[in-house]
Amino acid sequence: MIAALKQFDSYEAEEPIVEPYDGTKDIHYHLKAFRIQMLISGGSDAIKCKYFVGTLRDTAPIPLRSINIFDDFSGKFLSQFAY
């Protein structure tokens, strides 16, 4: 049982395949596509934050460990790029 729990704790979702956001496309579409991919592959909020950074192109760096709840991250993304 403990081995199964350790295996579950170390599970990391597959990285989603989402076209990188470069500031020229619909931010809501990008966020929705990412959320759907993460829903399919699973993963914690920390994993979502880790992988979401990889879907952003030419953006300002985010300090390491500054955001660990994906809803905060997605909210900051929407407010930063909404026009």
Neighbouring residues of 8: CB distance < 8 A, sequence distance ≥ 6:
none
- What pLDDT does 34 receive? 94
**DSSP letter for each residue of 38-74:** HHHH---HHHHHHHHHTTB-S-----TTS---HHHHH
Residues of the chain with pLDDT under 50: 1-9
What is the model's pLDDT at position 23? 83
Phi first, then psi, for residue 21 (nearest 5°) are -85, 125
